[in-house]
Each structure stands twice: as C-alpha cells, then as structure tokens.
C-alpha cells in the first residue's frame, strides 16, 4: 500500500506556503492557535549538570507521544507493525511551509510534543514558589520553537531513496527555515533572555534526525527536527572553546588532521569521512570544505547539492549495513553549525550499546576507523579521493 499525505488533506492543514513570506511574529501567532499543542507544553526549565555543563530540558508530557515503530514482539525482533501513520492521515499540526517534489511534496509543521515553546506561555509550574522549587540552584528558563520537516509526503520515501533533485529541494527548505529562525531582522520577536549569545541575536538553531525506536525516533515517517531557543547547546559552547584553544574552527582542524584513507567520498564542496576518533563503528562526518560557512542558509546551490548527496550516501550506507550486522536500523543525524564549528553533520548509527565506561567518558569501540572507512566505500561503490 502506497501510504501518503494527500494534497486534499494538506489543504486542510496548510497555513503558510513558503516560510520566507511571513514574519516570526506571524508564525508565533499560528503556534499559539494550535489548540492540540496546549496539552503538551514543556516545563520551560533547563538544569545544568555542574560537572560538565550538560543541559537537561524537561517536558513530562512527551511520555505520551504515540509510537508507530514498536516491534511486533517484545523481544529483539526488528519487524514493525503495519500501523496507521498519523502523518499520512493528516492527524498533525498546521503546515507552515510546503514544496513540490517529483512525487508528492516536502513540508514543515509544528511539533505536537515540543521540547521548546515561547516563554510567555510555558508551563505555569515555573511560577510556583517564585520558580525556585523547579529552577533549582542553576536552573535556566528555556523558550523557543520546535518544528518538524517531513522529508516527503510519501510514507516510504526518505533521504536514502529519493532522487537527487528532491533531496536538494528538501535541503533548501531546511535552509530557508533555519534562516527565518536566525534572521536578525526579526530580533524584535524575543523568545527570552539569551544568556550565552553574542553571535546569534535571536537564539540557537538545532537540526537533528532520529530514525528508529532505539535512538528516539517515535514515528516511522521520515522527518527532521528543528529547535530554536535561547539556550546554547553544550556542543556550541564546546566548539567556541575549541576555536579559542586551537586558533581555527573544528571543521578546518579535522579537514587537515584526518588521514586521507578515512575519506569515504569527496563531493567537491563537501567530504564524507570517518573521524580518526571514531567512537562507534560506522560513525561518519560530512564536512563543508569552505570552513568560513557556519549555517545551511549560507551555502550556495552547489554546496547545498553536495550536502544533500552526502546525507543520501551516509543514510543509505547505514540502512544497508545494519541488517548485515544483525542490528535493528537506528541512527541519529546531528547538525553542527555556528561559532567555532564551521558546518558539519554527524551520522551516528546505533551499532554498539552504551556501557558504564562510556558514561565515564571512556569509549570502547568495537572496530577501527580504517576498516570502517574501507567497508563504507565498498558498500557505496565509492573510491577515496582527496
């Protein structure tokens, strides 16, 4: 059965065709009018781990999220029930961006179970005892937006099996959303006090992808998550410190430090590689070679195409390899952008569990970078090019 969100159902959800055409203030009003989200508003509180600065954001309501990717049996079987897809049925929030693909369309909407929400309407629990009960000794109030980009309206299409032209469109729309959220011209729409930022007047954009129940993916229908908040993710702080310590951003450093035999494929403006410090078998990084670029929206058309092709190859390799390893398909994609980072993406397949040593910061990797790079080149039919 070819499941998909139809054009007719889309029209019932469509609020904005192109996100560039509206202001953040208008988007904010649309969000406030999403009645379904009001039952799942986050606590709006972040605690900091005093040992290393890890951020922990709270939203108890996310435990109520529906999951359509649970296995048939309670054991380790990777088989998935053929459940109704809420997205294909249109049981979701208003759409704020849509673009045609060769088949179907890609679209962006609000996350029904957000980890971020504008500050003036966050959960009233903050106000109890003047906030001290929940904020704790180092608590920070967190404000922002949490959106989803659905790669395709067709249920079985995602980065690994879409044509090149469609992948480019999806990446372009992701870049357009990023630019809208970061736009300094919209700085009058404050989402809260930005305790950390000099470089981003309005806040921080975080772009990730979770695929598979083992790594936080609740719905099978392919999508990316986009967060925008006043809270600086710890990785951004790490990148800033790295640049201060090394005199160059992380992308520039790795591109000249990483060995040539760890390259999986060179796309011209971008390169897919295995980092020399690989933590888990088949971890991959995709780096934009112009290390002065810090955000997706800064990329030109050729760079956008190279990044889209890198996403395609990395995700395709993971989905080909994991069944061969006897593993349930599951992976995360993390976008690293902003000060100190350059622009690069991490592709992290769930090839090895996390043990006690890892929680101490001592990683045991059941593989080595050179063998991994060779296997990835082989499965993708690539050759190492510098």
Task: Evaluate whether 296 touches 336 at the Cβ level (below 8 Å).
Answer: no
Q: What is the CATH number of the domain that holds 86?
A: 3.30.428.10
Q: In which domain, by residue range, is 71 found?
A: 7-231
Do 227 and 243 lie in a common domain?
no
Domain membership of residue 289 (yes or no) is: yes
Calpha distance 41→38 (Å, rounded): 6
* pLDDT of 194 strictly over 80: no
pLDDT at residue 135 in the model:
67
Do residue 39 and residue 107 come from a single domain? yes
With cut-offs at 50, 70 and 90, classify the pLDDT of residue 59: confident
Please identify, among 199, 231, 263, the residue that sits at the C-terminal boundary of a domain. Answer: 231
Alpha-carbon distance of 26 to 131, in angstroms, equals 30
216 within domain boundaries? yes
CA distance 362 to 88: 43
Over range 350-362, report the average pLDDT: 93
Cβ contacts of 368-371, under 8 Å, gap ≥ 24: 368/278, 369/262, 369/274, 369/275, 369/276, 369/278, 370/259, 370/261, 370/262
Say whether both 224 and 327 belong to one domain.
no
Short-list 137, 154, 150, 144, CA closest to 5: 154
Taking only the tens place, the pLDDT of each residue in 207-255 is: 999 999 888 888 999 999 999 999 899 999 999 999 999 999 999 999 9
User: Mean pLDDT across the chain, nearest whole number?
Assistant: 88
- pLDDT at site 346: 98
Shared domain check, 301 and 203: no
Is 121 found in the same domain as 60? yes
- List the alpha helices (DSSP H) in the chain: 7-13, 24-32, 132-135, 164-182, 234-246, 250-257, 301-324, 356-359, 369-380
pLDDT digits (tens, 9 = 90+) for 13-54: 999 999 999 999 999 999 999 988 988 999 888 999 999 999
Is 386 a domain residue? no
Residue 1 falls within a domain, yes or no?
no
Determine the 3-state secondary structure of 66 from DSSP. Answer: coil
pLDDT tens sequence across 283-306? 999 999 999 999 999 999 999 999
pLDDT for res 382: 77
From 316, 320, 310, 350, select the one nearest 332 (Cα to Cα): 350
The CA–CA distances, whole Å, from 138 to 47, 56, 126, 128, 204 equal 6, 11, 14, 17, 20
Residues 130 and 265 in one domain: no
Of 231, 261, 285, the position where a domain reaches its end is 231
Domain end marker among 200, 231, 262: 231
- For the stretch 140-152, pLDDT in tens is 888 899 999 999 9
**Higher-scoring residue by pLDDT: 184, 251:** 251
Do residue 222 and residue 113 come from a single domain?
A: yes
């Amino acid at each position: 059965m070819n499941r998909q969100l139809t054009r007719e159902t889309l029209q019932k959800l469509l609020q904005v065709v192109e996100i560039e055409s509206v202001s953040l203030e208008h988007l904010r009003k649309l969000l406030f009018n999403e009645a379904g989200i009001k039952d799942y508003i986050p606590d709006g509180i972040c605690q900091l781990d005093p040992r290393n600065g890890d951020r922990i954001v709270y939203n108890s309501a996310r435990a109520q999220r529906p999951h359509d990717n649970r296995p048939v049996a309670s054991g380790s079987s990777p088989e998935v029930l053929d459940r109704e897809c809420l997205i294909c049925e249109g049981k979701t929030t208003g759409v704020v961006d849509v673009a045609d693909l060769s088949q179907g369309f890609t679209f962006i909407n609000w996350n029904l179970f957000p980890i971020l929400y504008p500050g003036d309407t966050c959960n009233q629990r903050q106000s109890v005892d003047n906030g001290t009960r929940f904020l704790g000794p180092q608590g920070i109030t967190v404000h922002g937006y949490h959106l989803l980009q659905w790669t395709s309206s067709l249920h079985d299409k995602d980065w690994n099996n879409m044509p090149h032209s469609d992948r480019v469109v999806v990446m372009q729309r992701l870049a357009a959303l990023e630019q809208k959220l970061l736009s300094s011209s919209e700085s009058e729409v404050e989402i809260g006090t930005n305790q950390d930022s000099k470089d981003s007047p309005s806040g921080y954009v975080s772009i990730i992808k979770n695929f598979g129940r083992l790594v936080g993916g609740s719905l099978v229908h392919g999508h990316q998550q986009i967060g925008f908040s006043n809270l600086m993710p710890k990785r951004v702080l790490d990148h800033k410190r790295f640049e201060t310590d090394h005199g160059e951003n992380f992308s520039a450093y790795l591109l000249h430090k990483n060995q040539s035999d760890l390259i999986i494929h060179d796309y011209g403006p971008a390169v897919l590689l295995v980092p020399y410090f690989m933590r888990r078998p088949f971890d991959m990084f995709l780096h934009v070679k112009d290390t002065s670029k810090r955000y997706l929206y800064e990329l030109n058309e050729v760079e956008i195409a190279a990044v889209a092709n890198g996403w395609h190859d990395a995700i395709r390799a993971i989905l080909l390899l994991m069944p061969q390893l006897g593993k349930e398909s599951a992976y995360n994609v993390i976008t690293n952008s902003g000060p100190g980072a350059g622009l690069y993406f991490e592709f992290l397949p769930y090839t090895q569990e996390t043990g006690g040593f890892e929680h101490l910061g001592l990683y045991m990797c059941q593989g080595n970078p050179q063998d991994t790079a060779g296997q990835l080149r082989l499965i993708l039919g690539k050759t190492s090019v510098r």
